[in-house]
Amino acid sequence: MALRSIRRIVTGHLPNGETTVLFNGTATEVLEVTGWPGAAVTELWSTDEVPVDLDRTEDRVRPMRHDPTPHGTLFRVVEIPPEQGLSIDTDAAFEAMQSTNRPDAASKKQHAGMHRTDSIDYIVVISGEMTMLMTNGTEAALKQGDCVVQQGTAHAWVNRSPEPCVIAAVLVDGKRPAALGDE
């Protein structure tokens, strides 16, 4: 099942300084994640610089890449399917998402989807429910409207409900936590 259609509206400035809508339509950069049946990611926007150049008017969406570029940001919507009876091929899934921070063998023992990014992630649950699992075993049950600020932590999204969970996420490039060293 592919992620529902997401309408994307992007604003900008005209040369005379007036504001306008640059893009208004269905987002087209959708990845159905290989190895994770029912999982899909819709990329909405990306930047490669901070501060962001607000004079640019070209479409800045790019093909799926799990992690933001150095000094970059990503804005996406993710659909996470129910896990019951689902077999996840972690290697294929993270390859499809071009992740640079793939789960190691120890992480996979805790959960097949345990992963991290070198970013601060702002997440809002749009619909459904799921659990965020941390490496020390703590869990946070999430439901519609809940928000997460994730600071480069290893985590897994666990959907124990019978329905897909849809989240919106903004990833901002960050500095690797000192406790992790230079891995």
Q: What is the pTM of this model?
A: 0.89
In order of their start, the domains of the chain are 30-174 (2.60.120.10)
H helix or E strand, kind and range, residue 76: strand 73-80
With beta carbons less than 8 A apart as the criterion, state whether 90 and 99 touch.
no
With beta carbons less than 8 A apart as the criterion, state whether 44 and 27 touch.
yes
Q: Which residue matches tokens 């409900």?
A: 161
CA distance 59 to 122: 22
**pLDDT level of residue 180 (50, 70, 90 thresholds):** confident
pLDDT in tens, 41-87: 999 999 999 999 999 999 999 988 889 999 999 999 999 999 887 77
Cite the DSSP H helix spans in the chain.
Answer: 90-96, 105-110
The amino acid present at 49, given as its one-letter code, is E
